[in-house]
Structure 1
Amino acid sequence: MLIQTVIAAARDVFSPALRRILWKSIGLTIALLALVWVVLTRLLDTFLSTHDLSASYPILDSFAFFLAGFGLFLGLFYLLPAVSAIVAGYFLDDVAEIVERKHYPADLPGQALPFGKAILYGLRFGALSLAVNLVALLLLFVPGINIGVFFIANAYLLSREYFELAAGRFWSPEEVKLLRYEHRGTVLAAGAVLAGLVLVPILNLVTPIFGAAMMVHLHKGLMARRLADGRAGSPLRVEVGRRAS
Protein backbone atom coordinates (compact mmCIF):
# COMPACT_ATOMS: atom_id res chain seq x y z
CA MET A 1 0.00 0.00 0.00
CA LEU A 2 2.74 2.46 0.95
CA ILE A 3 4.51 2.27 -2.42
CA GLN A 4 1.28 2.93 -4.31
CA THR A 5 0.54 5.81 -1.94
CA VAL A 6 3.94 7.41 -2.53
CA ILE A 7 3.59 7.07 -6.30
CA ALA A 8 0.08 8.56 -6.27
CA ALA A 9 1.21 11.50 -4.12
CA ALA A 10 4.24 12.14 -6.37
CA ARG A 11 1.94 12.32 -9.39
CA ASP A 12 -0.45 14.64 -7.58
CA VAL A 13 2.21 17.09 -6.40
CA PHE A 14 3.20 18.13 -9.93
CA SER A 15 -0.25 17.79 -11.46
CA PRO A 16 -1.91 20.92 -12.93
CA ALA A 17 -4.57 20.84 -10.19
CA LEU A 18 -2.01 21.21 -7.40
CA ARG A 19 0.68 23.19 -9.19
CA ARG A 20 -0.56 26.57 -8.00
CA ILE A 21 -0.75 25.41 -4.39
CA LEU A 22 2.72 23.89 -4.74
CA TRP A 23 4.24 27.21 -5.80
CA LYS A 24 2.46 28.99 -2.98
CA SER A 25 3.76 26.41 -0.51
CA ILE A 26 7.33 26.73 -1.78
CA GLY A 27 7.08 30.51 -1.63
CA LEU A 28 5.77 30.48 1.94
CA THR A 29 8.43 27.97 3.03
CA ILE A 30 11.24 30.08 1.55
CA ALA A 31 9.77 33.24 3.06
CA LEU A 32 9.62 31.71 6.54
CA LEU A 33 13.17 30.37 6.24
CA ALA A 34 14.37 33.78 5.02
CA LEU A 35 12.68 35.43 7.99
CA VAL A 36 14.41 33.05 10.37
CA TRP A 37 17.72 33.69 8.58
CA VAL A 38 17.34 37.46 9.01
CA VAL A 39 16.48 37.16 12.70
CA LEU A 40 19.37 34.80 13.42
CA THR A 41 21.79 36.97 11.43
CA ARG A 42 20.78 40.08 13.37
CA LEU A 43 21.19 38.26 16.67
CA LEU A 44 24.60 36.98 15.61
CA ASP A 45 25.73 40.44 14.46
CA THR A 46 24.63 41.87 17.80
CA PHE A 47 26.58 39.21 19.70
CA LEU A 48 29.77 39.67 17.65
CA SER A 49 29.59 43.44 17.88
CA THR A 50 29.32 43.33 21.67
CA HIS A 51 32.10 40.72 21.93
CA ASP A 52 34.84 42.16 19.72
CA LEU A 53 37.31 39.39 18.93
CA SER A 54 39.13 41.11 16.09
CA ALA A 55 41.51 43.15 18.24
CA SER A 56 42.88 40.37 20.41
CA TYR A 57 42.10 37.27 18.35
CA PRO A 58 41.89 38.13 14.62
CA ILE A 59 42.10 34.47 13.53
CA LEU A 60 39.40 33.50 16.00
CA ASP A 61 37.28 36.38 14.75
CA SER A 62 37.54 35.19 11.13
CA PHE A 63 36.76 31.64 12.18
CA ALA A 64 33.73 32.86 14.13
CA PHE A 65 32.30 34.58 11.04
CA PHE A 66 32.92 31.48 8.89
CA LEU A 67 31.40 29.16 11.47
CA ALA A 68 28.48 31.51 11.96
CA GLY A 69 27.61 31.46 8.27
CA PHE A 70 27.87 27.69 8.02
CA GLY A 71 26.12 27.27 11.35
CA LEU A 72 23.17 29.41 10.24
CA PHE A 73 22.80 27.40 7.04
CA LEU A 74 22.93 24.14 8.99
CA GLY A 75 20.49 25.53 11.54
CA LEU A 76 17.97 26.31 8.80
CA PHE A 77 18.28 22.71 7.60
CA TYR A 78 17.30 21.48 11.07
CA LEU A 79 14.48 24.02 11.22
CA LEU A 80 12.94 22.89 7.93
CA PRO A 81 10.72 20.16 9.48
CA ALA A 82 9.22 22.72 11.87
CA VAL A 83 8.58 25.15 9.01
CA SER A 84 7.08 22.29 6.99
CA ALA A 85 4.65 21.58 9.83
CA ILE A 86 3.41 25.17 9.81
CA VAL A 87 3.05 25.30 6.02
CA ALA A 88 1.26 21.94 5.97
CA GLY A 89 -1.30 23.17 8.47
CA TYR A 90 -2.02 26.12 6.19
CA PHE A 91 -2.42 24.22 2.90
CA LEU A 92 -3.56 20.71 3.85
CA ASP A 93 -7.30 21.23 3.44
CA ASP A 94 -6.83 22.77 -0.01
CA VAL A 95 -4.68 19.81 -1.07
CA ALA A 96 -7.02 17.27 0.53
CA GLU A 97 -10.10 18.65 -1.22
CA ILE A 98 -8.43 18.38 -4.64
CA VAL A 99 -7.06 14.87 -4.03
CA GLU A 100 -10.36 13.59 -2.62
CA ARG A 101 -12.40 15.08 -5.46
CA LYS A 102 -10.04 13.75 -8.13
CA HIS A 103 -9.38 10.23 -6.83
CA TYR A 104 -12.35 9.47 -4.55
CA PRO A 105 -15.36 11.23 -6.09
CA ALA A 106 -17.82 8.60 -4.81
CA ASP A 107 -16.79 9.08 -1.16
CA LEU A 108 -18.22 11.67 1.16
CA PRO A 109 -15.85 14.67 1.23
CA GLY A 110 -13.99 15.49 4.41
CA GLN A 111 -14.76 18.49 6.57
CA ALA A 112 -12.13 21.21 6.50
CA LEU A 113 -10.67 22.23 9.82
CA PRO A 114 -11.47 25.81 10.87
CA PHE A 115 -8.69 28.08 9.59
CA GLY A 116 -7.59 29.18 13.06
CA LYS A 117 -7.56 25.61 14.34
CA ALA A 118 -5.51 24.40 11.38
CA ILE A 119 -2.92 27.14 11.91
CA LEU A 120 -2.74 26.52 15.66
CA TYR A 121 -2.38 22.81 14.95
CA GLY A 122 0.51 23.50 12.59
CA LEU A 123 2.12 25.89 15.06
CA ARG A 124 1.84 23.34 17.87
CA PHE A 125 3.54 20.66 15.85
CA GLY A 126 6.01 23.20 14.54
CA ALA A 127 7.02 24.10 18.09
CA LEU A 128 7.33 20.43 19.04
CA SER A 129 9.37 19.72 15.91
CA LEU A 130 11.58 22.72 16.65
CA ALA A 131 12.32 21.49 20.15
CA VAL A 132 13.14 17.98 18.96
CA ASN A 133 15.34 19.20 16.11
CA LEU A 134 17.22 21.58 18.40
CA VAL A 135 18.15 18.52 20.47
CA ALA A 136 19.25 16.79 17.25
CA LEU A 137 21.29 19.89 16.38
CA LEU A 138 23.07 19.73 19.74
CA LEU A 139 24.13 16.20 18.80
CA LEU A 140 25.68 17.50 15.57
CA PHE A 141 29.23 16.67 16.61
CA VAL A 142 28.40 13.13 17.72
CA PRO A 143 29.20 11.05 14.61
CA GLY A 144 26.66 8.43 13.59
CA ILE A 145 24.04 9.66 16.05
CA ASN A 146 22.99 13.12 14.88
CA ILE A 147 21.53 12.10 11.49
CA GLY A 148 19.95 9.01 13.06
CA VAL A 149 18.24 11.09 15.75
CA PHE A 150 17.15 13.65 13.15
CA PHE A 151 15.67 10.97 10.89
CA ILE A 152 13.89 8.91 13.57
CA ALA A 153 12.50 11.93 15.41
CA ASN A 154 11.14 13.52 12.25
CA ALA A 155 9.75 10.25 10.93
CA TYR A 156 7.60 10.07 14.06
CA LEU A 157 6.68 13.75 14.21
CA LEU A 158 5.88 14.15 10.51
CA SER A 159 3.89 10.91 10.38
CA ARG A 160 1.85 12.00 13.37
CA GLU A 161 1.15 15.51 12.16
CA TYR A 162 0.31 14.79 8.53
CA PHE A 163 -1.83 11.75 9.33
CA GLU A 164 -3.78 13.57 12.04
CA LEU A 165 -4.40 16.50 9.70
CA ALA A 166 -5.64 14.23 6.89
CA ALA A 167 -7.70 11.85 9.07
CA GLY A 168 -9.01 14.76 11.16
CA ARG A 169 -11.17 15.79 8.22
CA PHE A 170 -13.30 12.68 8.86
CA TRP A 171 -12.87 11.64 12.50
CA SER A 172 -12.75 13.12 15.98
CA PRO A 173 -9.33 13.60 17.64
CA GLU A 174 -9.92 10.48 19.77
CA GLU A 175 -10.77 8.39 16.70
CA VAL A 176 -7.78 9.74 14.79
CA LYS A 177 -5.48 8.81 17.68
CA LEU A 178 -6.94 5.31 17.73
CA LEU A 179 -6.51 4.92 13.98
CA ARG A 180 -2.92 6.11 14.12
CA TYR A 181 -2.12 3.65 16.90
CA GLU A 182 -3.86 0.77 15.14
CA HIS A 183 -1.90 1.39 11.93
CA ARG A 184 1.21 2.78 13.61
CA GLY A 185 3.66 0.73 11.52
CA THR A 186 2.25 1.90 8.20
CA VAL A 187 1.87 5.50 9.36
CA LEU A 188 5.42 5.58 10.73
CA ALA A 189 6.77 4.14 7.47
CA ALA A 190 5.04 6.99 5.63
CA GLY A 191 6.66 9.42 8.06
CA ALA A 192 10.04 7.86 7.26
CA VAL A 193 9.44 8.71 3.60
CA LEU A 194 8.81 12.33 4.57
CA ALA A 195 11.86 12.42 6.86
CA GLY A 196 13.96 11.09 3.98
CA LEU A 197 12.54 13.74 1.66
CA VAL A 198 13.49 16.46 4.15
CA LEU A 199 17.12 15.34 3.80
CA VAL A 200 17.17 16.01 0.04
CA PRO A 201 18.00 19.64 -0.87
CA ILE A 202 15.50 21.43 -3.13
CA LEU A 203 13.10 18.49 -3.12
CA ASN A 204 12.52 19.06 0.60
CA LEU A 205 10.64 22.23 -0.33
CA VAL A 206 7.76 20.12 -1.67
CA THR A 207 7.42 18.21 1.63
CA PRO A 208 4.23 20.02 2.84
CA ILE A 209 2.25 19.36 -0.36
CA PHE A 210 3.65 15.88 -0.95
CA GLY A 211 3.06 14.93 2.67
CA ALA A 212 -0.51 16.20 2.61
CA ALA A 213 -1.36 14.32 -0.60
CA MET A 214 0.37 11.15 0.58
CA MET A 215 -1.48 11.04 3.91
CA VAL A 216 -4.83 11.63 2.20
CA HIS A 217 -4.17 8.60 -0.01
CA LEU A 218 -2.88 6.60 2.97
CA HIS A 219 -5.94 7.38 5.07
CA LYS A 220 -8.25 6.39 2.21
CA GLY A 221 -6.33 3.16 1.71
CA LEU A 222 -6.54 2.27 5.38
CA MET A 223 -10.27 2.97 5.41
CA ALA A 224 -10.75 0.71 2.38
CA ARG A 225 -8.83 -2.02 4.20
CA ARG A 226 -11.00 -1.60 7.30
CA LEU A 227 -14.12 -1.82 5.15
CA ALA A 228 -12.84 -5.02 3.53
CA ASP A 229 -12.23 -6.44 7.01
CA GLY A 230 -15.78 -5.65 8.07
CA ARG A 231 -14.80 -2.79 10.38
CA ALA A 232 -16.62 0.07 8.70
CA GLY A 233 -17.93 2.94 10.79
CA SER A 234 -16.46 4.86 13.69
CA PRO A 235 -13.03 3.50 14.73
CA LEU A 236 -13.91 4.32 18.33
CA ARG A 237 -17.18 2.35 18.25
CA VAL A 238 -15.49 -0.58 16.54
CA GLU A 239 -12.80 -0.61 19.22
CA VAL A 240 -15.34 -0.41 22.05
CA GLY A 241 -17.33 -3.24 20.51
CA ARG A 242 -14.22 -5.37 20.08
CA ARG A 243 -13.24 -4.93 23.71
CA ALA A 244 -16.76 -5.71 24.90
CA SER A 245 -16.95 -8.95 22.94
Structure 2
Amino acid sequence: MLIQSVFAAAREVFSPALRRILWKSIGLTIALLVLVWLGLTKLFDLFLNDHHLSATYPIIDSFAFFLAGFGLFVVLIYLLPAISAIVAGYFLDDVAEVVERDKYPADPPGRALPFGQSLVYGLRFAGLSLLVNLAALLLFFIPGINIGVFFIANAYLLGREYFELAAGRFWKPEDVARLRTEHRGTVLAAGAVVAALVLVPVVNLITPIFGAALMVHLHKKLTRNPGQPLPLRRDNAVSIEKA
Protein backbone atom coordinates (compact mmCIF):
# COMPACT_ATOMS: atom_id res chain seq x y z
CA MET A 1 0.00 0.00 0.00
CA LEU A 2 2.65 2.51 1.04
CA ILE A 3 5.12 1.44 -1.62
CA GLN A 4 2.46 1.72 -4.31
CA SER A 5 1.60 5.21 -3.09
CA VAL A 6 5.27 6.27 -3.06
CA PHE A 7 5.86 5.17 -6.66
CA ALA A 8 2.57 6.70 -7.81
CA ALA A 9 3.48 10.04 -6.22
CA ALA A 10 7.01 9.93 -7.68
CA ARG A 11 5.61 9.43 -11.18
CA GLU A 12 3.13 12.28 -10.82
CA VAL A 13 5.46 14.93 -9.42
CA PHE A 14 6.94 15.57 -12.87
CA SER A 15 3.82 14.75 -14.86
CA PRO A 16 2.45 17.41 -17.24
CA ALA A 17 -0.66 17.80 -15.07
CA LEU A 18 1.39 18.80 -12.01
CA ARG A 19 4.36 20.46 -13.71
CA ARG A 20 3.02 24.01 -13.43
CA ILE A 21 2.16 23.53 -9.75
CA LEU A 22 5.60 21.99 -9.15
CA TRP A 23 7.43 25.01 -10.57
CA LYS A 24 5.29 27.40 -8.56
CA SER A 25 5.97 25.36 -5.42
CA ILE A 26 9.73 25.32 -6.06
CA GLY A 27 9.68 29.06 -6.72
CA LEU A 28 7.84 29.79 -3.46
CA THR A 29 10.12 27.46 -1.49
CA ILE A 30 13.26 29.13 -2.86
CA ALA A 31 11.83 32.59 -2.21
CA LEU A 32 11.09 31.71 1.42
CA LEU A 33 14.56 30.18 1.85
CA VAL A 34 16.16 33.34 0.45
CA LEU A 35 14.12 35.53 2.79
CA VAL A 36 15.12 33.40 5.78
CA TRP A 37 18.77 33.46 4.65
CA LEU A 38 18.76 37.25 4.35
CA GLY A 39 17.05 37.60 7.70
CA LEU A 40 19.53 35.31 9.48
CA THR A 41 22.49 37.05 7.81
CA LYS A 42 21.18 40.44 8.93
CA LEU A 43 20.70 39.22 12.49
CA PHE A 44 24.22 37.81 12.50
CA ASP A 45 25.71 41.11 11.31
CA LEU A 46 23.72 43.06 13.88
CA PHE A 47 24.92 40.75 16.65
CA LEU A 48 28.56 41.24 15.71
CA ASN A 49 28.23 45.01 15.36
CA ASP A 50 26.14 45.58 18.49
CA HIS A 51 28.57 43.64 20.66
CA HIS A 52 31.70 45.01 18.93
CA LEU A 53 33.04 41.49 18.78
CA SER A 54 35.03 42.06 15.62
CA ALA A 55 36.98 44.90 17.22
CA THR A 56 37.52 43.08 20.52
CA TYR A 57 38.36 39.70 19.02
CA PRO A 58 39.75 40.11 15.49
CA ILE A 59 39.86 36.35 15.00
CA ILE A 60 36.06 36.41 14.92
CA ASP A 61 36.29 38.02 11.48
CA SER A 62 37.89 34.82 10.24
CA PHE A 63 34.98 32.76 11.48
CA ALA A 64 32.30 35.20 10.38
CA PHE A 65 32.41 34.13 6.74
CA PHE A 66 32.26 30.48 7.76
CA LEU A 67 29.32 31.00 10.09
CA ALA A 68 27.46 33.16 7.59
CA GLY A 69 28.02 30.51 4.92
CA PHE A 70 28.13 26.92 6.12
CA GLY A 71 26.58 27.70 9.50
CA LEU A 72 23.51 29.37 8.05
CA PHE A 73 23.25 26.64 5.41
CA VAL A 74 22.93 24.06 8.19
CA VAL A 75 20.29 26.17 9.91
CA LEU A 76 18.32 26.35 6.66
CA ILE A 77 18.34 22.55 6.40
CA TYR A 78 16.74 22.34 9.83
CA LEU A 79 14.23 25.04 8.91
CA LEU A 80 13.26 23.44 5.59
CA PRO A 81 10.54 21.18 7.09
CA ALA A 82 8.81 24.24 8.54
CA ILE A 83 9.02 26.04 5.19
CA SER A 84 7.74 22.89 3.47
CA ALA A 85 4.73 22.91 5.81
CA ILE A 86 3.77 26.42 4.71
CA VAL A 87 4.19 25.63 1.00
CA ALA A 88 2.27 22.35 1.35
CA GLY A 89 -0.65 24.07 3.03
CA TYR A 90 -0.81 26.51 0.13
CA PHE A 91 -0.63 24.01 -2.75
CA LEU A 92 -2.12 20.78 -1.38
CA ASP A 93 -5.65 21.35 -2.67
CA ASP A 94 -4.32 22.06 -6.17
CA VAL A 95 -2.30 18.84 -6.13
CA ALA A 96 -5.15 16.83 -4.61
CA GLU A 97 -7.61 17.99 -7.25
CA VAL A 98 -5.30 16.85 -10.06
CA VAL A 99 -4.53 13.45 -8.48
CA GLU A 100 -8.16 12.76 -7.57
CA ARG A 101 -9.39 13.71 -11.03
CA ASP A 102 -6.75 11.74 -12.96
CA LYS A 103 -6.37 8.64 -10.78
CA TYR A 104 -9.72 8.32 -9.03
CA PRO A 105 -12.26 9.71 -11.54
CA ALA A 106 -15.08 7.43 -10.32
CA ASP A 107 -14.80 8.70 -6.72
CA PRO A 108 -16.58 11.78 -5.42
CA PRO A 109 -14.04 14.63 -5.39
CA GLY A 110 -12.83 16.12 -2.14
CA ARG A 111 -13.75 19.59 -1.04
CA ALA A 112 -10.99 22.18 -0.81
CA LEU A 113 -10.35 23.53 2.65
CA PRO A 114 -11.13 27.23 3.07
CA PHE A 115 -8.00 29.25 2.40
CA GLY A 116 -7.90 30.53 5.97
CA GLN A 117 -8.18 27.03 7.41
CA SER A 118 -5.50 25.59 5.13
CA LEU A 119 -3.24 28.53 6.02
CA VAL A 120 -3.82 27.93 9.72
CA TYR A 121 -2.98 24.25 9.21
CA GLY A 122 0.25 25.16 7.48
CA LEU A 123 1.28 27.82 10.00
CA ARG A 124 0.41 25.58 12.95
CA PHE A 125 2.58 22.76 11.71
CA ALA A 126 5.27 25.19 10.57
CA GLY A 127 5.44 26.63 14.08
CA LEU A 128 5.58 23.20 15.71
CA SER A 129 8.15 22.01 13.18
CA LEU A 130 10.22 25.14 13.79
CA LEU A 131 10.34 24.51 17.54
CA VAL A 132 11.15 20.82 17.17
CA ASN A 133 13.87 21.38 14.57
CA LEU A 134 15.47 24.22 16.52
CA ALA A 135 15.67 21.82 19.46
CA ALA A 136 17.19 19.19 17.14
CA LEU A 137 19.68 21.79 15.90
CA LEU A 138 21.13 21.99 19.42
CA LEU A 139 22.22 18.36 18.96
CA PHE A 140 23.99 19.12 15.67
CA PHE A 141 27.46 18.46 17.07
CA ILE A 142 26.52 15.05 18.51
CA PRO A 143 27.20 12.59 15.65
CA GLY A 144 24.54 9.96 15.06
CA ILE A 145 22.05 11.43 17.48
CA ASN A 146 21.59 14.67 15.52
CA ILE A 147 20.42 13.02 12.28
CA GLY A 148 18.35 10.47 14.21
CA VAL A 149 16.44 13.10 16.16
CA PHE A 150 15.96 15.24 13.04
CA PHE A 151 14.65 12.27 11.03
CA ILE A 152 12.29 10.81 13.64
CA ALA A 153 10.82 14.17 14.63
CA ASN A 154 10.14 15.16 11.05
CA ALA A 155 8.80 11.74 10.09
CA TYR A 156 6.10 12.23 12.70
CA LEU A 157 5.42 15.91 11.98
CA LEU A 158 5.41 15.69 8.18
CA GLY A 159 3.39 12.48 8.16
CA ARG A 160 0.79 14.01 10.43
CA GLU A 161 0.58 17.30 8.55
CA TYR A 162 0.32 15.94 5.02
CA PHE A 163 -2.17 13.24 6.00
CA GLU A 164 -4.43 15.68 7.84
CA LEU A 165 -4.39 18.08 4.90
CA ALA A 166 -5.27 15.31 2.42
CA ALA A 167 -7.91 13.63 4.59
CA GLY A 168 -9.36 16.99 5.62
CA ARG A 169 -10.78 17.35 2.12
CA PHE A 170 -13.22 14.54 2.93
CA TRP A 171 -13.71 14.17 6.68
CA LYS A 172 -14.47 16.27 9.72
CA PRO A 173 -11.46 17.11 11.94
CA GLU A 174 -12.37 14.56 14.60
CA ASP A 175 -12.70 11.83 11.96
CA VAL A 176 -9.37 12.83 10.42
CA ALA A 177 -7.76 12.48 13.85
CA ARG A 178 -9.34 9.03 14.29
CA LEU A 179 -8.16 7.83 10.89
CA ARG A 180 -4.64 9.08 11.58
CA THR A 181 -4.59 7.38 14.98
CA GLU A 182 -5.89 4.06 13.66
CA HIS A 183 -3.29 4.04 10.89
CA ARG A 184 -0.51 5.73 12.85
CA GLY A 185 2.13 3.22 11.73
CA THR A 186 1.40 3.67 8.04
CA VAL A 187 1.19 7.46 8.37
CA LEU A 188 4.49 7.52 10.27
CA ALA A 189 6.16 5.38 7.60
CA ALA A 190 4.89 7.72 4.90
CA GLY A 191 6.19 10.66 6.93
CA ALA A 192 9.57 8.92 7.10
CA VAL A 193 9.68 8.80 3.30
CA VAL A 194 8.99 12.54 3.14
CA ALA A 195 11.54 13.23 5.90
CA ALA A 196 14.16 11.23 3.98
CA LEU A 197 13.47 13.37 0.93
CA VAL A 198 14.10 16.51 3.00
CA LEU A 199 17.64 15.27 3.66
CA VAL A 200 18.53 15.18 -0.05
CA PRO A 201 19.85 18.58 -1.25
CA VAL A 202 18.06 20.15 -4.24
CA VAL A 203 15.69 17.17 -4.52
CA ASN A 204 14.12 18.31 -1.25
CA LEU A 205 12.61 21.27 -3.12
CA ILE A 206 9.91 18.94 -4.47
CA THR A 207 8.94 17.82 -0.95
CA PRO A 208 5.62 19.77 -0.75
CA ILE A 209 4.28 18.40 -4.06
CA PHE A 210 5.56 14.85 -3.52
CA GLY A 211 4.25 14.76 0.06
CA ALA A 212 0.85 16.04 -1.01
CA ALA A 213 0.50 13.49 -3.84
CA LEU A 214 1.74 10.68 -1.60
CA MET A 215 -0.82 11.37 1.11
CA VAL A 216 -3.69 11.73 -1.36
CA HIS A 217 -2.93 8.23 -2.64
CA LEU A 218 -2.40 6.84 0.86
CA HIS A 219 -5.65 8.33 2.16
CA LYS A 220 -7.55 6.81 -0.77
CA LYS A 221 -6.08 3.36 -0.17
CA LEU A 222 -6.63 3.44 3.59
CA THR A 223 -10.28 4.44 3.30
CA ARG A 224 -11.02 1.82 0.65
CA ASN A 225 -10.35 -1.08 3.01
CA PRO A 226 -13.63 -3.06 3.14
CA GLY A 227 -13.13 -3.78 6.82
CA GLN A 228 -12.62 -0.14 7.74
CA PRO A 229 -15.75 1.66 9.04
CA LEU A 230 -15.59 4.98 7.22
CA PRO A 231 -16.51 8.24 8.96
CA LEU A 232 -19.06 10.57 7.46
CA ARG A 233 -18.01 12.77 4.58
CA ARG A 234 -17.63 16.40 5.57
CA ASP A 235 -20.52 17.52 3.37
CA ASN A 236 -22.80 14.69 4.52
CA ALA A 237 -21.98 15.45 8.13
CA VAL A 238 -22.99 19.06 7.66
CA SER A 239 -26.29 18.01 6.10
CA ILE A 240 -27.12 15.66 8.96
CA GLU A 241 -26.28 18.26 11.58
CA LYS A 242 -28.56 20.79 9.89
CA ALA A 243 -31.39 18.24 9.69
Q: Tell me the TM-score range normalised by the shorter chain.
A: over 0.9
Per the normalisation by structure 2, the TM-score is 0.93
Q: How does 1:20-35 map to 2 (within 5 A)?
A: 20-35=20-35
Give the AA of the match of 1:229: G
- Which residue pairs with 2:134 in the alignment? 134
Q: Which residue of 1 aligns with 2:232?
A: 234
Q: Does the CA contact (< 8 Å) of 2:97 and 2:109 recur in 1?
A: yes
After superposition, give the CA deviation of every residue in 1:105-134 in whole Å (9 maximum; x if it has no partner): 110100100011111110110000000000
| Equivalent residue number for residue 240 of structure 1 | none
Secondary structure class of the residue paired with 2:224: helix
Give the aligned CA root-mean-square deviation in angstroms.
Answer: 1.3
TM-superposed CA distance for 1:234, in Å, is 3.4
Equivalent AA in structure 1 for residue 112 of structure 2 = A
Does the aligned pair in 1 maintain the 2:171–2:231 contact within 8 Å? Answer: no
Residue in 2 aligned with 1:96?
Answer: 96
Worse-matched range after superposition: 56-65 or 108-117:
56-65
User: 1:109 maps to what in 2?
Assistant: 109
Question: For structure 1, which runs of at least 5 residues remain unmatched after alignment?
Answer: 236-245
Query: Percent identity over the alignment?
Result: 76
- Structure 2 match to 1:121: 121
- In 1, the alpha carbon distance for the partners of 2:195 and 2:126 equals 14
Asked if residue 146 in structure 1 is aligned to residue 146 in structure 2, the reply is: yes
Q: How far off its partner does 1:31 sit?
A: 0.3
**Equivalent residue for 2:39?**
39
State whether structure 2 residue 18 is matched by structure 1 residue 18.
yes
Aligned to 1:199: 199
Aligned residues: 233
Contact 2:85 2:126 in 1 (8 A): yes
2:181 maps to 1:181? yes
Aligned partners of 1:81 and 1:134: how far apart in 2? 11
Q: Structure 1 residues 119 and 233, CA, compared in 2 at 3 Å: closer, same or farther?
A: closer
Superimposed CA distance per residue, residues 5-47 of structure 1 (whole angstroms, 9 cap, x where no aligned partner): 0000001110000000000000000000100111111111111
**Cross-structure match for 1:168:** 168
For residue 47 of structure 1, what is the amino acid of its counterpart? F
CA distance in 2, matches of 1:107, 1:183: 22
Indicate the larger mover: 84-93 or 48-57: 48-57
The amino acid of 1:201's aligned partner reads P
- Structure 2 unaligned runs (5+)? 234-243
CA gap 1:232/1:122 in 2 versus in 1, 3 angstroms? closer
Q: Secondary structure at the match of 1:3?
A: helix
Residues 230/158 of structure 1: CA separation in 2 closer, same or farther (3 Å cut): closer
Question: Distance in 2 between the 1:106 and 1:130 partners?
Answer: 39
Deviation at 1:230, TM superposition (A): 5.9
Cα deviation, 1:128-157, whole Å, max 9, x if unaligned, reads: 000000000011111211110000000000
Residue of structure 2 equivalent to 1:74: 74
Q: CA deviation at 1:70?
A: 1.5
| 1:157 equivalent in alignment to 2:153 | no
Deviation at 1:53, TM superposition (A): 3.4
CA distance in 1, matches of 2:156, 2:31: 26
CA-CA distance at 1:66 after TM superposition: 1.6
* Structure 2 residue identity aligned to 1:62: S
